[in-house]
Chain A
Amino acid sequence: MAEDVVKESPFNIHPMDQFVTKPLFGDADVNINEVMATLQWYTPTNVTLWSGLTVLVIAVLFIFGTRGRAIVPTRTQSVVEIIYGFIRSMIVDIAGEDGLKFFPYIMTLFLFILFANVLGLLPMSFTVTSQIAVTGVLAMAVFLAVTVIGFIRHGFGFLKLFWVAEAPLALRPILAFVEIISYFVRPVSHSIRLAGNMMAGHAVIKVFAGFAGALGVGSVVPILAITAVYGLEMLVVTIQAYVFTVLTIVYLKDALHPGH
């Protein structure tokens, strides 16, 4: 429906086409709705391919980075050590020493999101984290894990998280209502923030690329703009991986120390 509108405009830009999930094998030119209807849970799609590539890149970096175990680290080993130390100090700063038990999970989350984002910036590639299905699963996993950990650690004392003891007694039920809503909105905002940022940034690059195709000689201007936006995107991509991880740790801190 909206595609008809885009086709009639002088600039033939399809900024959202890069986010379509396509099967890897089979006809590429079939009507997109028919393709979507034939997708099964086991169909290998470009999401499958690029998540696999992400895991492969991380594995290669970390296996080759830590192979030498040198006391004076090589360049690759320094990269690995910096990432490790960065996440570790972040957990200790926010959630305290007992948060370190969950270090492997948080490190995995950070690495997967960071490398999926960075690989998505390659031309002609696909951004796994631009799919709300993918980020939704990541955020729901964090949400469920935090809730389960909270109840295991504190039993029903975990519900003190919603009962703000410092507030005046008359305000507490209202605050509890607000706190409960904000608790259940967490997975939604957690996932949509990442997917929305990735989608918006990549669509902006694609829109400028469409201008470059339409303007002929004047396309120098949009190409310069793409360069600038690309630099900005490198920053956004890293900050979003960082933000997702920090929020995970903050939620984890709520489960470990539910008192305000």
Chain B
Amino acid sequence: MAIEGDIAQMGALIGAGLATIGMGGAAIGVGNVVGSFLSGALRNPAAAGGQTATMFIGIAFAEALGIFSFLVALLLMYAQ
């Protein structure tokens, strides 16, 4: 019985570790957004200021999915 509990817990912790891979995807997404913004902004700096809010909204959407994977990891570790 104790061993089964240990194995279940081990699985949960491994799953939590695997869930953090999703953060890499969020990192790629945020990097893409900011990189594209910068390359656009350096070509036309005059128009860049008005688009900062749009950039932050894009970052927020990309980042939310990374936060979801963090949440899954937390749920696996603590909510059982």
Residues of chain A at the chain B interface (Cβ within 8 Å): 1-2, 5, 16, 90, 93-94, 189, 192-193, 196-197, 199-200, 239, 242-243, 246-247, 250
Chain B: interface size category? 10 to 19
| B80 on interface, CB distance cutoff 8 Å | yes
- The answer on a CB contact under 8 Å between A250 and B57 is yes
Question: What's the Cα separation between A231 and B60 when bound, in Å?
Answer: 20
A-B contact count (CB 8 A): 47
Closest partner residue, chain B, to A2 (CB atom): B77
From A94, A192, A199, A250, B64 is in contact (CB under 8 Å) with: A192
From A1, A90, A189, B53 is in contact (CB under 8 Å) with: A90
| B13 on interface, CB distance cutoff 8 Å | yes
Given contacts A2-B78, A193-B60, contact A246 B67 (CB under 8 A): no
- The answer on a CB contact under 8 Å between A189 and B57 is no
For chain A, what secondary structure do more than half of its interface residues adopt (helix, strand, loop), or is it mixed? helix
- The answer on a CB contact under 8 Å between A192 and B78 is no
4 new A-B contacts at CB < 8 Å, known A2-B13, A193-B63: A16-B74, A192-B64, A192-B71, A196-B70
13 contacts between A and B (CB under 8 A): A1-B80, A16-B78, A94-B53, A192-B64, A193-B60, A193-B63, A193-B67, A196-B68, A197-B67, A239-B56, A242-B56, A243-B59, A247-B60
| Distance of B29 from chain A, by nearest CB (Å) | 13
Closest partner residue, chain B, to A193 (CB atom): B64
- The answer on a CB contact under 8 Å between A243 and B56 is yes
Question: What's the Cα separation between A166 and B61 when bound, in Å?
Answer: 23
Closest partner residue, chain B, to A244 (CB atom): B60
Closest partner residue, chain A, to B23 (CB atom): A200
| Distance of A182 from chain B, by nearest CB (Å) | 10
Question: What's the Cα separation between A243 and B56 when bound, in Å?
Answer: 7
Closest partner residue, chain A, to B69 (CB atom): A196
Question: What's the Cα separation between A217 and B19 when bound, in Å?
Answer: 34
Question: What's the Cα separation between A250 and B56 when bound, in Å?
Answer: 12
List chain A residues, Cβ under 8 A from B61.
189
Residues 25 to 58 of chain B near chain A (Cβ within 8 Å):
50, 53, 56-57
By Cβ-Cβ distance, the 3 closest A-B pairs, closest first, are: A196-B67, A243-B60, A189-B64
